[in-house]
Amino acid sequence: MSIYSTKSASEYLRTRGFKVLDPWDIVLGFESLIAVYCGAKFAISLDSCTNALYLCLKYLEIKETHIEIPSRTYLSVPQIILQTQNYPVFIDKEWSGFYELGHTRIIDSAGRLSPKMYLDDSFMCLSFHRKKNIPIGKGGMILTDSKDAYDWMYKAVYEGRNRRENHDNIHDLDILGWNMYMTPEESAYGIDLFKNYAQKNFVEDCASSKKYRDLSKFNIFKSKQTI
């Protein structure tokens, strides 16, 4: 299927009881499928796991905080910690599939996507990078059980507006947002990949501490730590 085709995904969603009246219903459908699969109340899609982590830090208003992360992790993680006015603290820690950023309740779960994996009262950030379990190419999602967080993130990923509102009809905003949304076409591709993925009896983690370099050795991060 072409990434720009939504027909197959729409037909699949209809068989699952979803109404597909416009392209954004496909995005909602993909979010709902992943939320149910993982055992979360809500899921909000966006363009990367990196931005998912960033958005969670912004929502929780975490700043000027020392946040422990494994020294062997993806390169963007300490960067978004710094870019939100926090400080990465590298620790020698083995992990597989996911880990928590310090004690923030924010979980980098880019390497795991499995049934009922959601941890209560957390913000689990997923990746749909081409090397991940559902390889859309680029994309991410946040799992949460907080309606308040979902309502804020829903608008925050799309310039502070409702995704269904035409830009020309908007007269004002109640929050500031970013351009981080997942498109209907990307969601449609994700649904097509998910149809087969969900049938698997066992799913291995696709990322762990064994697959990454030790970021604590990078001079750019050494110079920005305060401890």
Residue 117 lies in a domain: yes
Q: What is the pLDDT of residue 170?
A: 86
Tell me if 1 is assigned to some domain: no
- Rounded CA-CA distance 212/93 in Å is 12
| Residue found under tokens 């931005």 | 51
Spacing of C-alpha 170 from chain mean position: 27
Residue 227 falls inside a structural domain: no
Boundaries of domain holding 136: 7-163+172-222
Q: What pLDDT is recorded for position 227? A: 47
Write out the chain's pLDDT in tens, 227 residues.
444 468 889 999 999 999 999 999 999 999 999 999 999 999 999 999 999 999 999 999 999 999 999 999 999 999 999 999 999 999 999 999 999 999 999 999 999 999 999 999 999 999 999 999 999 999 999 999 999 999 999 999 999 998 888 888 888 999 999 999 999 999 999 999 999 999 998 899 999 999 999 999 999 998 776 54
Record the tokens describing residue 192, joined without a space: 């097509």
122 lies in some domain: yes
Summarize pLDDT for 173-210 with one digit per residue, the tens: 999 999 999 999 999 999 999 999 999 988 999 999 99
Q: How far apart are the first and last CA of the chain?
A: 50
CATH code of the domain in which 80 resides: 3.40.640.10
- Locus of tokens 């762990």: 208
Q: How far is CA 19 from each of CA 8, 12, 183, 196, rounded to the nearest angstrom?
A: 14, 11, 18, 22
Give the total number of structural domains in the chain.
1
- The helix/strand/coil state of 81 is helix
